[in-house]
Structure 1
Amino acid sequence: MKSVIWTLLLFSFVLPVKGQYIVTGKIADDKGKSLEFVNIVIKKDAAIIATLLSDSAGHFKTTGLPAALYQLTFHRYDCDPQQLSVQLTADTVITIRLPYKAKQLKEVVVAGAKPIIERKIDRLVFNVENAVAASGGDALDALKITPGIQVQNDQISMVGKGRVKVMINDRIIQLSGEELSNFLATIKSDNIQSIEVISNPPARYDAQGNSGLVNIKLKKAAVNSWNAALTGTYTQATYGTGGGAGSFSYQKNKLSFTANIDYKEGNRDRTEKDRINYPDQSWNTDFHKTVFTRATGINAGIDYQLTKRWSMGAQYLGSFSRPGVTEEDEGILTNRHTGKTDSLINTAAASKRVINAASLNWHSDIVLSRTGSKLLLNVDYFGYNNNVDRTFSTQNTWPNGKPIEGSFVSTNNTGQQDIKNYAARADIDMPLKWIKLSYGGKLSRIESHNDLSFYNTTTGVSILDPGKSNVFNYKEQTEALYISGNRKFSRIWEAQAGLRMENTRIEGVSVTYNQVNTNNYLQLFPTFYLAYTPNKVHSFSASYGRRIERPGYASLNPFRFYSSPYNYSEGNPALAPQYANNIEIKHAFKEYLYTTLFFLNETNGFGEVPFVDDKTQMQYFTQLNYFTYNSAGLSEAFSIPGVRWWENDHRVDVFYAASRFTKAVKLDNTTTWGCMFSTANTFLLNSNGTLKGSVNFWYRSPRNDLLYTNKGRASLDLALKYQLLKNNLLLALIAQDVLRTDERTATTYTGNVEQRYYSYFDNRQVRITVTYKLGNKKIAVKNRKFGNEEEKKRAQ
């Protein structure tokens, strides 16, 4: 039955569509000579519908335009531009002449830059390539300064909402937490074109990610050119980190190719503190960690235009890192009744890891008919391998420093985590007369294998402890179908609705515990958008979307992982997905003031929950479905226009949240008010725009965040960027967290036991970047039109 349905869908591409017209034309100079390379821009209601170039004979052609009034603009660097209005009611032929300018220039270089922040009906676009403060960093640095996004302790979330999933070039990365952070740290920010924040994704996208998606778009090759660049970066925090990068891109006629490589190496300091107040004793532990990084990132892509209607390509994204951590931890156990020190706990630990990740994509775009129907095919593979070797030793001593007999413990943990993800996706775009229709499907399979060996080395001999060793295998398969339609009812009303169905089957096998857990569920995820644009001053929109957050693979593993004799973490094979309903209402006043009202409802919420046993004084972390979360808020984003030398964007988010907990966590329900303020400012510091400076600041108020009460945080970032040697040499100086205020302090309770946590990840740092461009050269090309002009326009 499924094969019959897909066959019918495929045959439906080529059905003729009435009401879609063809515009052809010829462009000549004032003497009748054909003009090539004339740029034609087609607009409707001030919105750009298409752009194209005339060929060597001066001809141009576009298809699939519905009946409407269009404005056509024709311009070439050496000619006077011309404008033409066309009321399209049938196939139309246009003949137009462009007179040459009175004085021709030998060479004209047109340089333009998109604004740093763009707001669209369904997403915010942060143009990283134009952000001074992102120069020389990595993808995590870019996310930290993306409006509406917060990065905290390896978790990426939206302000006032919750966690998001991260995509790269529209493909979800099947990692989370620390693994995702390590992967993103190998992607150079200079290779990122933009970051899209999609709070209510349409049905085309995966339903994963409770609060939406963050889509990192990598740069593509410029048309008819080759470019190369060499970059050196040095970062000074407590310790220094250095690195270098190289990039090359080429595009001519049918072939497009890009390649980037990045390497960095160095250390960072990491400070953490735990304060656990048992009824009779306080445990105060200071963790002093040095994090070593040695990482290489590779990104390469190739695209080829097989025919006018068929293009094909592949992309590779590789990450190879060798991180390590050394720890010197000191714990002080104090009698709460006398205030005297009972004993000390000194721990030394070291871990070495080898992490290799690779993402490979094959894609094919086929234009199926003159009406603009397209078939988009994607096949993806993602592999992730993490090998770890961790040792730790603990010695308890009396206050005078004398060792406590029998308290010394040392261990060695070695293990491997291997993740493989296979996915295939087909998307169909079909512009009909009365609706723009999209539909398609996706198959995804994930396999994860974990193998950990625990060795007791207290006696000086490594002895395998099978009870603390672990083998866990996990499989997940998801089939998805979706359909979405967009309809513009009039000049002022537009609507879009979609429905996505995802069927998921999972199996977790704990070889250690001889335990098998399975779960199968089929869910529907509707989306809806409505836009009202009465004039050029005001626009309104409303959207709704249902989302899902699936547990990470490690969260389902029931094994207990001991980081010390007094601390362990474990997963929960019975963990179920959580679901979210998102509602947003937006208003835009011109391009200066944007207001958003949002509401989020999360059910069956899961996460890591800390527990302590006041008798054994053992602290452990486990995964539970333990909360329902509701939040409502107001977001105001505004900019001050009319100042040529100052590009600015300011945002204020205010929200109210209420959490209800299950009995398992033994906490009262919480409510909280929270707010965040951010301001991003870029200044032109000289007349030709080669020297720019930026001042960015954000502040998050104190708030309750589920189990934790968090103190306020803030960060001030400063940056300078200078371009010289005809913009071929770039110098950048960035100072992050200048005031050292991006610290986390949180408090929670387990019964009557208070727990306090403090962490600082060495965020105050200075980064120096030098980039030299070797290319930016134009290539002479044969005069032809491409069949994927629409896709190129969408990527700009």
Structure 2
Amino acid sequence: MKYIIHNIFCTLLLVTISCSVSLAQQTGPSAKVSGLVVNGQGKPVDYATVSLLRATDSTVIKGALSNEVGAYTFEKIKAGNYLIKATAVGYKKAVSKPFAVAQGSQHVTVPTLSMPAGATELKGVTITATKPLIERKIDRTVMNVENSVLAAGNTAMEILERAPGVTVDKDDNISLKGKQGVTVMINDKLTYLTAAQLATLLRSTDGNTIKSIEIITNPSAKYDAAGNSGIINIKLKKNTQSGTNGSITVGGAKSRYWRDNSSLNINHKQGALNLFTSLSRGDNKRAHDIGLNRIISDSLGNKTYFNQKSDMPSSNHYNNYRLGADYDLTPKHTIGFVVSGYSNSGRDYNNNTTIIGKQFGVADSSLHTTSDIRQTYKNFALNLNDRLKLDTNGQELSIDLDYSKFKNNSNAMYNTDYFLADGSKQHDPQMLRNQSPSTISIYTGKADYAKPLTKTIKLEAGVKFSSVKTDNDLQAQIYDNGAYRNDTNRTNRFIYDEKINAGYLNLNKQFKKFSVQIGLRAEQTRSTGNLIGSTPVKRSYLNWFPSAFINQTINDKNEVSFSYSRRIDRPGYDDLNPFIYYLDPYTYSQGNAFLNPQYTQNFEFNYTYNKTVNVSLGYSHTTNAITELILTEGKRTFETHQNLQTQTAYNINVNTPFTITKWWEGNVNLTSFYLGFKSDTLAGQKFNDGQWAFQGRTTQTFKFAGYRFEVMGDYQSPLTYGIYKIRPRYSVDMGISKSFMEKKFNIKASCDDIFNIRRNDLSSQVINNNFTIKQKNDTRIMRLTLTYNFGNSAIKIRQHRSGADDEKGRVKGNN
């Protein structure tokens, strides 16, 4: 099969290159026009509206926005005489002198435009345009974290919980508009993670290093096909200034326990060389309280009541590093590398009491289990990238090579005491211990090619290979006759090997007010799951993933679009491991080696009014839906994953920013969704359940006397997810910040969940289940964060885009 795939894509690429050459010969000469927009102090004006005008009659030819360094570019400009006009909130407009684009010229640089402060300058303080916290773009929603008060001192996971339409459940599973199966990327770098692995990575990523979070609900064929509910892309801050500069951040927080964090970022840019490094460290300790009530019925109708209470504090110490360089071999050719990694440690101490009787509150017997789990995580990752602009018309080729290795280790001690109704010991305690080292190796390589075939047609093509191998070795012992001996019932070694070959084609056609993009991605997967001593489970399959996007601009204030894509979710590596992990003798989790991938058809319609108000309607249908289940077997309750027959989802989302006055602005995001699950063979029974739910989130930002004050509130109504009935969730966060010393020094103070009301409660009364889980995490956290920016602030006019910005690969951790 791999030879068939190879031949298909070789043929497609040959046809593409032939068509490209032919069409390129038919395209007339054109030039690139670029320049810079600065304010009265010579500092960049980002996100200014820049227009290219015909000099003879001021007709608008093209429009653009200046970027973070105030630079703008117009491609494929014909010969003629032109003007540049720039406008931005808080500034007077600026218009250039007429300039000419001569026949045959390739690049015209417009003299720097200076925009003096407008009438909004008050007492020496200039109110400039800043990006809103929530920003809606054509194909994604962006949460601009960099200037948010609430981001200071938070980890990436805590920031993600506040993103529009995003929820995080009791096990750190991330959902988007009610659906699980989210793919998380960092700097466009794909990360395939189990919930536990993803939580480790995000909880050790300092929020002060994050620039923005992008939410892409219907990705194109260019992206990996994994993730039925879309992609969340976390963009880290990137240097845009010449010279040497950086920042130091220190912070502290108090909830039930103290926390601290600090980070150092240094950048150096001179000529063609850009060097950057970041170091961060922190200590997080979190509380986690769980109450679990279960009612177990036997075949005669007799009931046994289990009342379980667990105090589960956890602590995490992290040390992260990132070092990289970009070098411009020529103005069109950039190479770069990034070295990153971490050395982290964590400890979970669980104190669990279970009371067993014929009714709640009356004990016939009880047991008390304590566990002490100590973990270490080490990671090293290397990325090499090469980005080549083949011409001035937008033809580009980029290549990325990635290698990552994770070495994780966990040592756990479990001690269970058994008691009679009168409190006396029933028998000797059960003492267990585990050592579970694991090694994860990841290799990826990819190449992406983009070619404008004509002025209105663009082709994108790419290939990718990835190889992932995980080796989990669980060594278990039980205390017996005064010594620990090997526990053959629990000891196991699970090795999982997965290889994916992929390729894609995207074709984009632009009309005057209408655009169409169609794409096709192919992915061939080969995997082997081997529980040593058992028969390996092997799979090999080829899938095709089409996508289509249509966008229509009705007029200046109304725009509609439609998108479709097919997606896949492969089972998590831990979910495939069929062995059993105990919480106590009556509660455990078990993997399922026979899980199959799930496939989703996604449809979405969007309407945008005045570039701000967005309404979307979505529908998706998933087959072989991978769903977490809690099942009952005798008096034991265990957690596992199974394939349900189908999952059906509908959603409607409304997102709108608003400005009440110059000092009061905000954003409202409202989502209503339906999730329905169906299976004819769930635990030998038919299952069909679903429910409409609602989620609302609003952010208010107030600016006064140099202070920035933010309040965020969110509410999620009761909902059904698989066999679970999830209770409502709600909370209010707030924060304030102030800058000093010409914005070099910043102080931010905030409080998460100020009323301490955010919970994760759920229940289930289906397929022989009858249980209720009440959970309270450490959610009310008071933070104080100090940031100092230092170094040269001179702006480098010539800009380039690093190949590291487009790196894609696969990252793994463990928890």
TM-score, scaled to structure 2: 0.87
Paired position in structure 2 for 1:501:
522
Which aligned pairs between 1:345-360 and structure 2 lie closer than 5 A? Answer: 345-360=367-382
Paired position in structure 2 for 1:594:
614
Letter in 1 for 2:592: N
Paired with 1:52 and 1:165, the residues of 2 have a C-alpha distance of 27
Paired with 1:719 and 1:54, the residues of 2 have a C-alpha distance of 29
Which aligned pairs between 1:57-136 and structure 2 lie closer than 5 A? Answer: 64-65=76-77, 72-73=84-85, 81-82=95-96, 112-136=129-153
Aligned residue for 1:113, secondary structure, equals: coil
**TM-fit CA distance, 1:728:** 1.5
Residue 515 of structure 1 pairs with residue 535 of structure 2:
yes
- Using the TM superposition, name which of 268-277 and 151-160 deviates more: 151-160
The C-alpha deviation readout for 1:566-611, integer Å capped at 9, x for no partner, is 2222211111100111111111111332111111211101133212
The C-alpha deviation readout for 1:184-237, integer Å capped at 9, x for no partner, is 112111111111101001111000111111111111111324322211111111
Residue 728 of structure 1 pairs with residue 744 of structure 2:
yes
Paired position in structure 2 for 1:292:
315
Aligned residue for 1:184, secondary structure, equals: helix
Residues 394 and 40 of structure 1: is their aligned pair in 2 closer, same or farther, counting only changes over 3 Å?
closer
Residues 776 and 762 of structure 1: is their aligned pair in 2 closer, same or farther, counting only changes over 3 Å?
farther
Paired position in structure 1 for 2:190:
172
**Preserved CA contact (<8 Å) 1:423 1:442:** yes
Residue 389 of structure 1 pairs with residue 411 of structure 2:
yes
Residue 717 of structure 1 pairs with residue 733 of structure 2:
yes
**Preserved CA contact (<8 Å) 1:395 1:409:** yes
Aligned residue for 1:211, secondary structure, equals: coil
Paired with 2:17 and 2:153, the residues of 1 have a C-alpha distance of 46
Higher relative contact order (CA 8 A, sep 6+): 2
Which aligned pairs between 1:300-449 and structure 2 lie closer than 5 A? Answer: 300-336=323-359, 340-406=362-428, 408-433=429-454, 434-449=456-471
Paired position in structure 2 for 1:251:
269
Letter in 2 for 1:119: R
Residues 69 and 209 of structure 1: is their aligned pair in 2 closer, same or farther, counting only changes over 3 Å?
farther
| Of 737, 756, 763, the match for 2:772 | 756
Aligned residue for 1:639, secondary structure, equals: strand
Paired with 1:329 and 1:177, the residues of 2 have a C-alpha distance of 23
Unaligned runs of 5+ in 2: 1-5, 36-41, 53-59, 118-123, 298-302, 808-815
TM-score, scaled to structure 1: 0.89
Residues 47 and 393 of structure 1: is their aligned pair in 2 closer, same or farther, counting only changes over 3 Å?
same
Residue 202 of structure 1 pairs with residue 216 of structure 2:
no
Paired with 2:341 and 2:553, the residues of 1 have a C-alpha distance of 44
**Preserved CA contact (<8 Å) 2:697 2:713:** yes
Paired position in structure 2 for 1:467:
489
**TM-fit CA distance, 1:643:** 2.2
| Of 690, 696, 712, the match for 2:712 | 696
Paired with 2:427 and 2:152, the residues of 1 have a C-alpha distance of 55
Letter in 2 for 1:457: Y
Letter in 2 for 1:612: T
Aligned residue for 2:150, secondary structure, equals: helix
Aligned residue for 1:129, secondary structure, equals: coil
Paired with 1:554 and 1:346, the residues of 2 have a C-alpha distance of 27
Residues 139 and 83 of structure 1: is their aligned pair in 2 closer, same or farther, counting only changes over 3 Å?
farther
The C-alpha deviation readout for 1:655-691, integer Å capped at 9, x for no partner, is 22221123223463112010001001111021xxx31
| Of 530, 537, 545, the match for 1:525 | 545
Letter in 2 for 1:606: I
**Preserved CA contact (<8 Å) 2:336 2:804:** no
Paired with 1:463 and 1:548, the residues of 2 have a C-alpha distance of 43
Residues 49 and 142 of structure 1: is their aligned pair in 2 closer, same or farther, counting only changes over 3 Å?
closer
**TM-fit CA distance, 1:117:** 1.9
**TM-fit CA distance, 1:559:** 1.4
Residue 19 of structure 1 pairs with residue 39 of structure 2:
no
The C-alpha deviation readout for 1:720-768, integer Å capped at 9, x for no partner, is 1111122111111111111222111111135444011122221111111
**TM-fit CA distance, 1:21:** 3.3
Residues 51 and 235 of structure 1: is their aligned pair in 2 closer, same or farther, counting only changes over 3 Å?
closer
Residues 431 and 109 of structure 1: is their aligned pair in 2 closer, same or farther, counting only changes over 3 Å?
farther
**Preserved CA contact (<8 Å) 1:568 1:619:** yes
Aligned residue for 2:159, secondary structure, equals: helix
**TM-fit CA distance, 1:793:** 13
- Using the TM superposition, name which of 542-551 and 67-76 deviates more: 67-76
Paired with 2:506 and 2:189, the residues of 1 have a C-alpha distance of 19
Letter in 1 for 2:624: N
**TM-fit CA distance, 1:89:** 9.9
Paired with 1:772 and 1:358, the residues of 2 have a C-alpha distance of 29
**Preserved CA contact (<8 Å) 1:307 1:787:** no
**TM-fit CA distance, 1:290:** 1.5
Aligned residue for 1:141, secondary structure, equals: helix
Paired with 1:98 and 1:561, the residues of 2 have a C-alpha distance of 64
**Preserved CA contact (<8 Å) 1:478 1:505:** yes
**Preserved CA contact (<8 Å) 2:451 2:460:** yes
Paired position in structure 1 for 2:697:
678
Paired with 1:410 and 1:758, the residues of 2 have a C-alpha distance of 28
Paired position in structure 1 for 2:624:
604
Residues 238 and 46 of structure 1: is their aligned pair in 2 closer, same or farther, counting only changes over 3 Å?
farther
- State the aligned residue count: 768
Paired with 2:34 and 2:567, the residues of 1 have a C-alpha distance of 49
Paired with 2:656 and 2:230, the residues of 1 have a C-alpha distance of 22
Letter in 2 for 1:113: T
Residues 676 and 318 of structure 1: is their aligned pair in 2 closer, same or farther, counting only changes over 3 Å?
same
Paired with 2:138 and 2:554, the residues of 1 have a C-alpha distance of 15
Paired with 1:52 and 1:266, the residues of 2 have a C-alpha distance of 33
**Preserved CA contact (<8 Å) 1:657 1:672:** yes
**Preserved CA contact (<8 Å) 1:20 1:67:** no
Residue 488 of structure 1 pairs with residue 507 of structure 2:
no
**TM-fit CA distance, 1:642:** 5.4
Paired with 1:668 and 1:749, the residues of 2 have a C-alpha distance of 12
**TM-fit CA distance, 1:787:** 6.1
Residues 335 and 95 of structure 1: is their aligned pair in 2 closer, same or farther, counting only changes over 3 Å?
closer
Paired with 2:361 and 2:92, the residues of 1 have a C-alpha distance of 85
**TM-fit CA distance, 1:467:** 3.0
**TM-fit CA distance, 1:22:** 2.4
Paired position in structure 1 for 2:599:
579
**Preserved CA contact (<8 Å) 2:627 2:722:** no
Paired position in structure 1 for 2:589:
569
**Preserved CA contact (<8 Å) 1:41 1:52:** no
**Preserved CA contact (<8 Å) 1:676 1:699:** yes
**Preserved CA contact (<8 Å) 1:14 1:369:** no
| Of 187, 203, 211, the match for 1:193 | 211
**TM-fit CA distance, 1:446:** 0.7
Letter in 1 for 2:676: A
Residues 545 and 89 of structure 1: is their aligned pair in 2 closer, same or farther, counting only changes over 3 Å?
farther
Residues 507 and 138 of structure 1: is their aligned pair in 2 closer, same or farther, counting only changes over 3 Å?
same
Aligned residue for 1:179, secondary structure, equals: helix
Residues 699 and 94 of structure 1: is their aligned pair in 2 closer, same or farther, counting only changes over 3 Å?
closer
Aligned residue for 2:483, secondary structure, equals: coil
Residues 548 and 69 of structure 1: is their aligned pair in 2 closer, same or farther, counting only changes over 3 Å?
farther
Paired with 1:90 and 1:304, the residues of 2 have a C-alpha distance of 29
**Preserved CA contact (<8 Å) 2:375 2:409:** yes
Unaligned runs of 5+ in 1: 28-34
Paired with 1:26 and 1:343, the residues of 2 have a C-alpha distance of 78
**TM-fit CA distance, 1:477:** 0.6
Paired with 1:68 and 1:402, the residues of 2 have a C-alpha distance of 96
Paired position in structure 2 for 1:648:
666
**Preserved CA contact (<8 Å) 2:398 2:803:** no
**TM-fit CA distance, 1:435:** 0.7
